[in-house]
């Protein structure tokens, strides 16, 4: 999975359900292609197949269960989301939390199904704990800011820097994302400047009257950040 990454979590918002999930995913794909940035989308399970058939950007499942194929009525099987077109999965999102023992097992199952993994963490300590299990990415998301419109990267920058430091103590290579309240291009710049490899966004994009415009601005921020880094390294 390429970084910096911006993943749009569709959650169970009606604005991104059914046909609307395809429309939003297509907007994300168009902006990503036109501006040359890495976007991914996480629609609901029932929309994984139509979305992944409609777009050529990474599609994530919002969750999988720590189960193997068999008699588990109502559970979500890694192989099922994979065959529906998902290339990765969120694990342990604040709205779908599981135990640490289940996170470990889910990671093994996801790997064997060839799904990229983003494990969410509500605190820096949980971030370090799950980083030790070696997922592809860890996403720090303080629950109290989710859906608030107040960005974690602005309101709690010290949480991000502490999480990055604690994760690097146990895992030098895992990618680190942050999310919760990310609403503006500037929030994306702040997140990247604090040392993350990208952001998770939901309500600001999904519930926006003009999601394309906001995604263009956020993509612009990702490019500006890259430019700033290049000019800093050129002057060193
Ligand atoms: O997974 C991302 C999400 O929890 C953040 O939600 O609405 O604060 O962008 P939101």
- pLDDT tier, 11 (very low <50, low <70, confident <90, very high otherwise): very high
Residue 226 Cα to ligand 1 middle (Å): 24
**Residue 121's closest CA among 174, 74, 68, 80?**
174
Reported in sequence order, the residue ranges of 62-188 that DSSP labels E, i.e. its strands, are: 88-91, 116-121, 137-140, 175-179
Contact partners, residue 118, CB within 8 Å, separation at least 6: 7, 60, 88, 89, 90, 91, 135, 136, 137, 138, 139, 177, 200
pLDDT given at position 1:
86
Q: Does ligand 1 come within 6 angstroms of the Cβ of 62?
A: no
pTM of the model: 0.96
Q: Does position 232 have pLDDT exceeding 80, yes or no?
A: no
Tokens encoding 197? 């490899």
Do 119 and 108 contact (CB within 8 A), yes or no?
no
203 Cα–ligand 1 center, Å: 6
Per-residue pLDDT tens over the stretch 49-96: 999 999 999 999 999 999 999 999 999 999 999 999 999 999 999 999
Pairing of strands 198-201, 175-179: parallel
Q: Is the pLDDT of residue 222 over 80?
A: yes
Is 225 considered catalytic here? no
Q: Is 141 a catalytic residue?
A: yes
| CATH code that applies to domain 5-234 | 3.20.20.70
Taking the C-alpha atoms of residue 165 and residue 221, their distance in angstroms, rounded to an integer, is 24
Cβ atoms of 7 and 42 within 8 Å: the answer is: yes
Catalytic residue, chosen from 15, 23, 75, 93, is 93
Confidence at residue 230, expressed as pLDDT on a 0 to 100 scale:
64
Q: Is 142 in the pocket of ligand 1 (CB under 6 A)?
A: no
Domain boundaries, the chain: 5-234
The model's pLDDT over 179-200, given as tens digits with 9 standing for 90+, comes to 999 999 999 999 999 999 999 9
User: Residue 204: helix, strand or coil by DSSP?
Assistant: helix
Count the neighbouring beta carbons within 10 Å of the beta carbon of residue 107: 22
Q: What is the pLDDT of residues 99-128, one digit of tens each?
A: 999 999 999 999 999 999 999 999 999 999
Q: Is the CB of 147 under 6 A from ligand 1?
A: yes
Quick one: pLDDT at residue 236? 58
Q: Which residues pair with 117 in a beta bridge?
A: 89
User: pLDDT for 139-184, tens place per residue?
Assistant: 999 999 999 999 999 999 999 999 999 999 999 999 999 999 999 9
What is the signed CA dihedral for 104, 95, 40, 139, rounded to 10 degrees? -60
Q: Give the angle subtended at the CA of 101 by the CAs of 97 and 104, to the nearest 5°.
A: 90
Q: How far is the CA of 138 from the centre of ligand 1 (A)?
A: 14
Which residues touch 29 (CB under 8 Å, ≥6 apart)?
39, 55, 56, 57
**Which DSSP category does 163 fall into?**
H
pLDDT at 2 over 70: yes
Phi, psi of 137 (to 5 degrees): -145, 150
- Site to probe by mutation for ligand 1, drawn from 10, 62, 179, 188 as the one with most ligand atoms within 8 Å of Cβ, is 179
pLDDT (0 to 100) of residue 94: 97
For residue 16, pLDDT beyond 70: yes
């Amino acid at each position: 999975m390429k970084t910096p990454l911006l993943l749009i979590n569709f959650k169970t918002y009606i604005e991104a359900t059914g046909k609307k999930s395809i429309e939003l995913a297509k907007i994300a794909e168009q902006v990503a292609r036109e501006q040359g940035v890495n976007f991914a989308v996480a629609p609901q399970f029932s929309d994984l197949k139509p979305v992944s058939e409609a777009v050529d950007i990474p599609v994530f499942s919002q969750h999988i269960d720590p189960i193997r194929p068999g008699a588990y009525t109502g559970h979500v099987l890694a192989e099922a989301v994979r065959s529906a077109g998902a290339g990765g999965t969120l694990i342990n999102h604040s709205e779908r939390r599981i135990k640490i023992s289940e996170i470990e097992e889910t990671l093994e199952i996801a790997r064997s199904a060839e799904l990229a993994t983003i494990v969410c963490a509500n605190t820096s300590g949980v971030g370090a704990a799950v980083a030790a299990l070696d997922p592809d990415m860890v996403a720090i998301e303080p629950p109290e800011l989710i859906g608030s419109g107040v960005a974690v990267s602005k309101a709690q920058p010290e949480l991000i820097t502490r999480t990055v430091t604690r994760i690097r103590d146990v895992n030098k290579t895992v990618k680190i994302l942050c999310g919760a309240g990310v609403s503006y291009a500037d929030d994306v710049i702040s997140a990247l400047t604090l040392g993350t490899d990208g952001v998770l966004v939901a309500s600001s994009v999904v519930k926006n009257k003009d999601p394309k415009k906001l995604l263009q601005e956020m993509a612009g921020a990702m490019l500006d950040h890259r430019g700033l880094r290049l000019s800093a390294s050129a002057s060193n």
